[in-house]
Structure 1
Amino acid sequence: MKRTTRKLAALSIAATISAATLTACSAGGGSDADSNSLNVAFWDYGPAAQANNKALAEGFEAANPGVTVELTPVAGENWGSYYANVATSIAAGNRPDLMLISGEGAQFVTNNDLILPINDYLENDPDAQAIQDGIAPGLIAGFTVDEQVVTLANQWNDMVVYYNTDVFAAAGLEAPSADWTWDDFEATAAALTKDTDGDGEPEQYGFTWASNEIFPGIMPWVANAGGNLTDDAVCTPTVDTPEVSEAVGFLNELIEKKIAPAPMPMSDVFTRFQNGTIAMFGAGRWPIGTFVPAGFTAFDIQLYPTGETYKTVFGGAGYPILKSSANPDLAWEFQKFTVSEDIQNAIVGTPEAPGDSIPSLRAAADTISEVGVPPVNSDLFYASIDDYDTLVPYPAPTNYSEYEAAVLRNLQLIFAGEVGVDEGLATMQGELESIVTCS
């Protein structure tokens, strides 16, 4: 099964977690066998998902003798179809205790009445305050719907700009600074664009973005223009606003000026960035998990350039407790385990196998720079939400699969030059008005 590029839920722990070193926690199970067992549903996108969730389950069992964790792999072409398949499974009588979700799932599991909010646990568990103090407030807010906390995020990604340091050096350019603007960015990207054979079509472009994903595609630009694709309640689409038009228009002009090619799948972005024919692109931490094991280290990161404002877009992953759970207290212990020191340090990874997400615990994230691999500016990952009060949760409508398809389809028409920016966004708005609802 094809895995989507954005690895928000990939737990990079299978090779690094050591059950023998895990500190046992109090599970608080009952007397019968069922009270000491859990069932965890996860998106079965491939072998990595199976191995990583298996390692997490075995670690929890080792930390809690007598507890068993059964894993339920659930198929899905993307996050949206996975969520729908879990809901169908529950309706058919299956009773998972927890399920893996990404930020896109927070609205879905809430609006479909699938989850047990953890507010009471956060208020009454003696461990909860220390856990919350160690996690950036925005990461908790991003998984809160109508004041109900859906889950603790155990890992996340925000959007930064990757740049090829060899390409910058060859062009005689200094590394970009954190205070660069859209004008600075365009000038830099133009200086990095090369038409070496003079045929009018560059062989090297200054920048590109993903065609198959919204998160590392247009979202950072929309946020930095002061907009979003939905309202704060994620009930109404807002793609026909001046802010979204400004962001999409800016990207479209990069194509028209031949500073950027038409957007391409993220896998192609990775290839062209490594061979130097793309100088910059946007993503979270996950490219490091591809670049470093392949021996490519000529890169660093910087914050997105400031438009009307500076904002960072983020998405996370976690294991909410489901209302179908027969053991919610034990499920809460499992959820806490996902933000334990050992698990969080495993998400950081090693120099040979760096993780592809950012740990939610600040203390663990602070060690990313110590694993001895690029990017040099790795502290920017957590600093982008700690030092800037500008966190924008990735819009997560209930009907996410349909939402994603409509946005990407209309953007493709715009960036291919088949429709104008405002016309394309107006069409997109019309389609989304029947998809993005809270009724």
Structure 2
Amino acid sequence: MNRTTRTIAAAALTAALTATALASCAPSSGSDSGEKTLNVVFWDYGPAAQTGNQATADAFMAANPDVEVSLTPVAGENWGTYYANVATLIASGEKPDLMLISGEGAEFIHANNLALPINDYLESDPDAAALVDDIAPGLIDGFTVDGDIVTLTNAWNNMVVYYNTDVFAAAGLEAPSADWTWDDFKATAAALSKDTNGDGTTDQYGFTWASNEIFPGIMPWVANAGGNLTSDDRCEATVDTPEVTKALEFLKGLIDEGIAPAPMPMSDVFTRFQNGSIAMFGAGRWPIGTFVPAGFTSFDIQLYPSDETYKTVFGGSGYPILQSSPNPDLAWEYQKFTVSPEIQEQYVGTPEAPGDSIPSLRSVASTISEVGVPPVSSDLFYSSIDDHDTLVPYPAPAKYSEFESTVLRNLQLIFAGETTIADGLTTLQGELDPIVACS
């Protein structure tokens, strides 16, 4: 799907969902009749998404035998294209009760008055207080827009560095420490980069990053440089800044010095990390859902290296109730169920079949290491989210699909050397200004 198609699709999604939201202002026949059905849309990024959503739906129906949960998978290369692809579904007449979103989608559905805020539910439901007390405040804030809480976070990821322990051992390198710096990181990555077959071309690289996503791509480096791609209110683009320039100069330098190849899709990163031709890469918890079932466990994680100070960027997911839902109270029960210990334990998984996200409940996330689910250093995931001083808001403006595609397209030109960093960021700033500007 090209940029123009994504933009048209996003506009269609807004129009279609807004229309259904307006229609829901009238009395709903489904609500009046007490209809016990729920339609849940989710991003079908792979087998784990399908099995995870089905497990949640099955557990909810088992606990509520009079409810039928209908799951609607929607494909997408990333969160942005998923949102765009939902347009076709909504335009065809579907009216989901809940729609799985990430933090990137909170501003979008709020700006278009598509989500039913859950503030009243949190205040009136006696079960809600215990859940909220067990969730890091940053995960609540991540889905709060203008005081409206769009959804509870059911699962989340923050960015860590994965390293291949076999490759480190073969190079005689010790595991990286939590206080490593950018200089330490570069020296380590350089020591892991080599021409293994003597043909004069590097074929084992110390590090790479995803070309098809911002989150596990440039964002950890931008955050650690003290910058962001948008202002905190997500109404201004902030890419043409010294902080973003510093991050891109560091990453481009890794490419120019043969320490990193050109960025590649995350699926390719996974393959090359497992075969040892990539020693390190950045991601959240989701890679273990691919690695461990495939029998690959020669890895561990560490926090990203710090620049002048350590910063982390995180993203979560949740199931907001749509304004068009004919059964909002039932939809709230489903949203709440996704944050129940029963479902959160499924996100932990087992040593043989680990989950692909971090549970939002502190009490459940702490069991990852206790039940022996890889990686060894899994406690690093949750330990960073409770410290608000380290959190950087994820850049997720209302027009996220267009924002993401614009950023990725311009970054490709920069990292390919087709434009300078200075000129590329100036161009990107100009293209993002009208996309990000709040009305």
TM-score by structure 2 length? 0.88
Which amino acid is 2:232 matched to?
A: D
Cα distance, 1:117 vs structure 2: 0.6
Contact 1:136–1:385, Cα closer than 8 Å, also in 2 = yes
Distance in 2 (CA, whole Å) between partners of 1:391 and 1:399 is: 23
Once the two structures are overlaid, the 10-residue window that deviates more, 381-390 or 255-264, is 381-390
Which amino acid is 1:254 matched to?
A: L
Contact 2:48–2:289, Cα closer than 8 Å, also in 1 = no
Cα distance, 1:373 vs structure 2: 3.9
Cα distance, 1:70 vs structure 2: 2.8
RMSD: 2.2
Distance in 2 (CA, whole Å) between partners of 1:75 and 1:375 is: 28
Which amino acid is 1:141 matched to?
A: D
The aligned residue for residue 254 of structure 1 is 254
Deviations 1:170-200 (A, max 9, x none): 2221111101111111111111122345554
What SS is found at the alignment partner of 1:40?
A: strand
The aligned residue for residue 80 of structure 1 is 80
CA 1:48–1:258: 2 relative to 1, 3 Å:
closer
Task: Indicate whether 1:238 and 2:248 are aligned.
Answer: no
CA 1:205–1:407: 2 relative to 1, 3 Å:
same
The aligned residue for residue 383 of structure 2 is 383
Give the alignment of 1:43-62 within 5 angstroms.
Answer: 43-45=43-45, 48-62=48-62
Task: Indicate whether 1:204 and 2:204 are aligned.
Answer: yes
What SS is found at the alignment partner of 2:184?
A: helix
The aligned residue for residue 175 of structure 2 is 175
Deviations 1:90-129 (A, max 9, x none): 5776432211111111011111110111111112221111
Once the two structures are overlaid, the 10-residue window that deviates more, 250-259 or 188-197, is 188-197
What stretches of structure 1 of length at least 5 have no aligned partner? 2-29
More helix as a share of residues: 2
Deviations 1:202-256 (A, max 9, x none): 2221111111111111000000001001111111111101100000110011111
The aligned residue for residue 9 of structure 2 is none
Distance in 1 (CA, whole Å) between partners of 2:136 and 2:372 is: 24
The aligned residue for residue 17 of structure 2 is none
Distance in 2 (CA, whole Å) between partners of 1:31 and 1:401 is: 32
What stretches of structure 2 of length at least 5 have no aligned partner? 2-29
The aligned residue for residue 433 of structure 2 is 433
The aligned residue for residue 138 of structure 1 is 138
Once the two structures are overlaid, the 10-residue window that deviates more, 372-381 or 153-162, is 372-381
Contact 2:212–2:264, Cα closer than 8 Å, also in 1 = yes
What SS is found at the alignment partner of 2:384?
A: helix
The aligned residue for residue 339 of structure 2 is 339
Distance in 2 (CA, whole Å) between partners of 1:183 and 1:95 is: 51
Distance in 1 (CA, whole Å) between partners of 2:392 and 2:41 is: 28
Cα distance, 1:42 vs structure 2: 2.5
Distance in 1 (CA, whole Å) between partners of 2:373 and 2:40 is: 33
Which amino acid is 1:239 matched to?
A: V
Contact 1:90–1:324, Cα closer than 8 Å, also in 2 = no
Which amino acid is 1:97 matched to?
A: D
CA 1:258–1:47: 2 relative to 1, 3 Å:
closer
The aligned residue for residue 220 of structure 1 is 220
CA 1:335–1:291: 2 relative to 1, 3 Å:
same
Distance in 2 (CA, whole Å) between partners of 1:288 and 1:240 is: 35
Contact 2:107–2:396, Cα closer than 8 Å, also in 1 = yes
Which amino acid is 1:173 matched to?
A: L
Distance in 1 (CA, whole Å) between partners of 2:280 and 2:82 is: 32
Distance in 1 (CA, whole Å) between partners of 2:381 and 2:276 is: 24
CA 1:226–1:324: 2 relative to 1, 3 Å:
same
Distance in 1 (CA, whole Å) between partners of 2:49 and 2:356 is: 13
Distance in 2 (CA, whole Å) between partners of 1:184 and 1:132 is: 38
Contact 1:98–1:321, Cα closer than 8 Å, also in 2 = yes
CA 1:35–1:197: 2 relative to 1, 3 Å:
closer
The aligned residue for residue 21 of structure 2 is none
CA 1:47–1:290: 2 relative to 1, 3 Å:
closer
Distance in 1 (CA, whole Å) between partners of 2:413 and 2:184 is: 28
Which amino acid is 2:301 matched to?
A: I
Which amino acid is 1:195 matched to?
A: D
The aligned residue for residue 12 of structure 1 is none
Which amino acid is 2:104 matched to?
A: E
Distance in 2 (CA, whole Å) between partners of 1:179 and 1:311 is: 12
Deviations 1:15-43 (A, max 9, x none): xxxxxxxxxxxxxxx99653433222223
Cα distance, 1:46 vs structure 2: 5.5
Contact 2:206–2:278, Cα closer than 8 Å, also in 1 = yes
Task: Indicate whether 1:370 and 2:356 are aligned.
Answer: no
Cα distance, 1:437 vs structure 2: 2.3
Give the alignment of 1:310-325 within 5 angstroms.
Answer: 310-325=310-325
Distance in 2 (CA, whole Å) between partners of 1:31 and 1:186 is: 59
Which amino acid is 2:52 matched to?
A: N
The aligned residue for residue 277 of structure 1 is 277
Once the two structures are overlaid, the 10-residue window that deviates more, 89-98 or 105-114, is 89-98
Once the two structures are overlaid, the 10-residue window that deviates more, 352-361 or 82-91, is 82-91
The aligned residue for residue 404 of structure 1 is 404
* Count of aligned positions: 411
What SS is found at the alignment partner of 1:117?
A: coil
Contact 2:209–2:281, Cα closer than 8 Å, also in 1 = yes
What SS is found at the alignment partner of 2:434?
A: coil
CA 1:281–1:92: 2 relative to 1, 3 Å:
closer
Cα distance, 1:87 vs structure 2: 5.9
Distance in 1 (CA, whole Å) between partners of 2:364 and 2:183 is: 35
CA 1:75–1:202: 2 relative to 1, 3 Å:
closer
Deviations 1:318-354 (A, max 9, x none): 1001111222222111111000111000011111111
Task: Indicate whether 1:361 and 2:330 are aligned.
Answer: no
Distance in 1 (CA, whole Å) between partners of 2:88 and 2:148 is: 23
CA 1:205–1:85: 2 relative to 1, 3 Å:
closer
Which amino acid is 1:232 matched to?
A: D
CA 1:262–1:77: 2 relative to 1, 3 Å:
closer
Cα distance, 1:269 vs structure 2: 1.3
Cα distance, 1:401 vs structure 2: 1.7
The aligned residue for residue 113 of structure 1 is 113
TM-score by structure 1 length? 0.88
Cα distance, 1:64 vs structure 2: 2.0
Distance in 2 (CA, whole Å) between partners of 1:31 and 1:393 is: 37
Once the two structures are overlaid, the 10-residue window that deviates more, 122-131 or 108-117, is 122-131
What SS is found at the alignment partner of 2:301?
A: strand
